[in-house]
A and B are shown apart, each in its own frame.
Chain A
Amino acid sequence: MKDHVTNSATISRRGFVVSMLGAGGALVIGSLQSQAAEIGSTPWEGPVAEGAQQFTPWIAIQPDGKVIVYVTHPDIGNGPVTQAVSYIYEELAPRWDDLQAEYASPNRNYRLDNVYSNVGGPLAYFSGRSTSEPRRTAYMTAAAGARERLKAAAGAAWGVDPAAITVAEGRLAHAESGNDAPFTDFLAAAAAITLDPEPQPKPREEWTFLGKQAPGKIQLPLIVRGQATYGIDVRLPDMVYAALRQSPVMGGRLKSFDFDAIRDMPGVRAAVEVVPNDPGEPNKVEPPFPFGMAPLTSAVAVIADHYWQARTALDALPIEWDDGPGTKWADIEMMNQAAMAAVSGDEEGNVLFSVGDVEAELARGGTVVEAEYLTPYCDHVNMEPLNSTAIVTDDRVEIWHPGQHTQMAWAMAVQQTGVAPENVEAHQTFVGGGFGRRVFSEDARMGVAVAQQYPGVPVHTIWSREESMRQGRYKPLMAARLRARLGDDGLPTALHVRVAGGPGFWTLGVADQALPLVIDNVQVDAVTVSDFHILTGSYRGPGYNSATFFLESFVDEMAQAAGQDPLDYRIALYSKWADEGWVKVLEELRDKSHWGEPLPAGQARGVAIGNWGMGGRANAGTTCGAVVHAEVDAEGRIRLHGIDVAFDSGRVMNRDAVKAQLEGGVIMGLNMAMNEKITVQNGRVVEGNYDQYPMLRIGDIPDIRIHFGGLTDDDRYDEMGEPPMGPVGPALANAVFAITGKRMRTQPFREHDLSWGGAA
């Protein structure tokens, strides 16, 4: 078999290179070799090589020419590590092959007075904002400073004006004198130089790499060989494995377990209890993420020589739980009804946005449109189940964690143990999917809590797929009721939106859109159903992912009531908004999706648009729209023919990285809308694995076309992960309505009977 592989690779290599050069896909920087910027198999910060010089805490240059770039934000598949080295490449001009990324240590950050986390504040160690201005400036300023120091040192050595020295490919050159030497000849001298003032980063007009080239993610060579160390791959000497179970009803407590029943099973070492923290515990360090320290839940863990042994023994362990009040929810329908009752009732709740006089305007009568919507709990189902590895002693903690916020994992380890922060180290591993699940870092805390009960030995705690799915921090169950009055032109003169969900749910999504800003009389308010016990969290595009479904389905309902084309209606509506990106995106969609061209019976196009991150401001966030071309057969089966996506993030830094995020987000958004639903029985989460939580596979995915013509060239490089989560679902629902006359007002769509008699 080995022979076969070698042969096929050898035979193909020439054809391969030709093929790639001919493809012109801008995916390659120029040669295969240029992909050699790298990140280690164990990507966390290691010791600095002897003779290496630091140029600010962001960069070190080693005597072998390697340029170490310290990266704060974990790469969850979106490419921020590659973006960080790209900034350095632009300003410092080393060889691309010499760039090497390492995840910056939160321990060092603490010891250096928050040198890393002062950039970007609470989001400093949080992924996804790699193109934000402060972060870009921090990297580029550091690299420009290093470059100018190297030039100054070379200028002094050569007796020439540093301004006449050019920098390229890791070398300094002075044309007139003929001097030419690598960076490494001047490291120590350069590091000792003080510049006043520090050089500023190049203006955008002078960039030769950023925005022009689109390097692929530098960790890919590791991934395709199975050599990237995810959290679940951490292996340490004498490590033991723990299988975890938390109270099946969230909020419940462990009553007892019978270790004797499993004591003699193979490999079993211990069963330990994790006791919830005191709710009033003071913070031992400032929580880096703005939602505070994550609480610890009640749990039991079985520790064994191998994970399979631990898991088998855990399954055999008799455990008694005190379920707590969550058992009152007999099934999910009860919770749905409670949320629907909250939006249908008279309780006003918390007013999130208000302008004009909604009730007076609605009372004028005429055409009033009214609808109620519901979205369910959804789990992130990151492909890598939650896990962490920790070693805890009396005065030291070390954790290896696949988190989205390394500094939060570090803070959780401090919080849980009370060990002095300078003696706590958190190592960022590769991450098997983030999507917001791994921000709060309660899984890091749990791993430390388990290891605390088995001190002095590295403990690798794995949440099984079932445990990960049943102990999620879900996309919240949300209900919404919308009412609008249409004016003579068919556009709304009043809009009232009431949303409801459990504690901690994200209500901002509804108020944070353009729709409330283009209508004269608006109120958005939110009612909290306080006895929902299911824990919720940030799920890719929190709030926005449901809000876009509510608002953009409802816009379709208004367009229908007005008897207008849904896309033209949106252009008329959103042309009132100060941000021209909305209309530009819609026009790009109209042109590229062949909107309005006739389709066979049983097929239709639907459109939707939203913005992630605008926060009530024009020219902010990323506006994203989609047109879904769908078919529904007589029995109600949906078939997708294609999805067109247009967006406005202002500008794009790495075109292919943007395209990849939009493709993937469309697919996740589609899965969320069509398939995903976490349900509850007697307070317990029912779904535990993919057999109960359907996922789209390769054969389900239509042609997805990403269009760049919606970009306004506004001076921002806004986010790309969340935006596609909004419009795909409502665009599909709107297409289905156009075909069948059936309006899907609840997700997931797979629960709807869409049979309609067919095209005949």
Chain B
Amino acid sequence: MSYTLTINGEPHEVDAAPETPLLWVLRDHLGMTGTKYGCGIAQCGACTVHIDGQALRSCNLPVDAVAGADIRTIEGLDQDGEHVLQKLWVEMNVAQCGYCQSGMLMAAARLLEDNPDPSDRDIDLRIDNICRCGTYPRVREAIHRAAEIMRG
């Protein structure tokens, strides 16, 4: 099947079986490898992208279900790394191995877009990504600081 996907504001043509997960379309068909494969069963969140403004796991989203949607990936967060979360992530030495962090950042960015002043509880509920390196304390601190900065 041929699809036109809108990713980070740009149209992309792909030819893939309808049930192919968006994750693999991004990674293998389009070469956008910033979105990571971690589990394939929507548990770990390494593959988190935004679909029409919602943070979703792309590993179990068939491409057929997202044709026509507005898809945003880590490559579209800010290519120059100027998003406040990206800058804080660097400054606060948040990531360790970094593999889960695309998903972590996409989840955090969406949280802040929905909620400019998230409580610890809000973070607990919305950032349910797995990080084996244990960067959680810094992720939490960076989100709080980002919220402060974005509120001005």
B-binding residues in A (CB < 8 A):
1-2, 4-6, 8-9, 11-13, 15-16, 19-20, 25, 27-28, 32, 35, 76-78, 216-217, 219-221, 223-230, 232-233, 235, 241, 266, 306-309, 380-385, 430-435, 462, 464-465, 656-657, 660, 663-668, 689-691, 695-699, 701, 704
Contacts and interface: CB of A to CB of B under 8 A. Distances in A.
A431 B99 CA distance: 8
Interface in B62-92: 70, 72-92
A701 B133 CA distance: 13
A232 B34 CA distance: 10
A32 B90 CA distance: 9
The 8 A-B pairs at the shortest CB distance, nearest first, are namely A226-B34, A699-B124, A667-B134, A77-B96, A432-B99, A664-B134, A77-B97, A223-B98
A315 to B, nearest CB: 12
Given A227-B34, A433-B99, A699-B125, A216 B91 contact: yes
Interface residues of B, number: 84
Nearest to A466: B40
Contact of A226 (B87, B96, B102, B140): B102
A425 to B, nearest CB: 22
Contacts of A381: 132
Contacts of B86: 224-225
A224 B95 contact: yes
B81 A225 contact: yes
Nearest to B38: A383
Given A220-B95, A266-B17, A697-B129, A5 B152 contact: no
A704 B96 contact: no
Contacts of B72: 1
Nearest to B75: A226
Contacts of A16: 84, 87-88, 149
Contacts of A665: 134
Nearest to B33: A233
A228 B32 CA distance: 12
Contacts of B131: 383
Interface of B: 8-9, 16-17, 20-21, 24, 27-29, 31-41, 43-44, 46, 50, 53, 70, 72-102, 105, 109, 113, 123-125, 127-140, 145-146, 148-150, 152
19 contacts: A1-B53, A1-B72, A2-B76, A16-B88, A35-B91, A216-B91, A223-B98, A226-B33, A226-B75, A226-B77, A232-B33, A233-B27, A306-B24, A383-B97, A657-B93, A660-B93, A668-B132, A690-B44, A690-B130
A224 B81 contact: yes
Given A9-B82, A689-B43, A385 B37 contact: yes
Q: Is the interface of B mostly helix, strand, loop or mixed?
A: loop
Contact of B31 (A78, A227, A235, A664): A235
Given A665-B134, A667-B134, A689-B41, A226 B35 contact: yes
Given A13-B82, A382-B97, A382-B99, 9 more contacts: A5-B83, A9-B87, A16-B84, A19-B148, A432-B36, A434-B97, A462-B37, A699-B128, A701-B134
Nearest to B109: A5
Contact of B128 (A77, A78, A384, A697): A697
A692 to B, nearest CB: 10
A308 B28 contact: yes
Given A12-B150, A383-B46, A383-B131, A220 B123 contact: no
B113 A691 contact: no
A533 B131 CA distance: 30
Chain A CB within 10 A, most for which of B16, B21, B84:
B84
A384 B28 CA distance: 16
Contacts of A701: 134, 136-137, 140
Contact of A663 (B28, B78, B138): B138
B105 A224 contact: yes
B138 to A, nearest CB: 7
A2 B145 contact: no
A15 B24 CA distance: 38
B83 to A, nearest CB: 5
Given A1-B72, A216-B93, A691-B43, A384 B136 contact: no
B97 A698 contact: no
A465 B84 CA distance: 32
Nearest to A469: B39
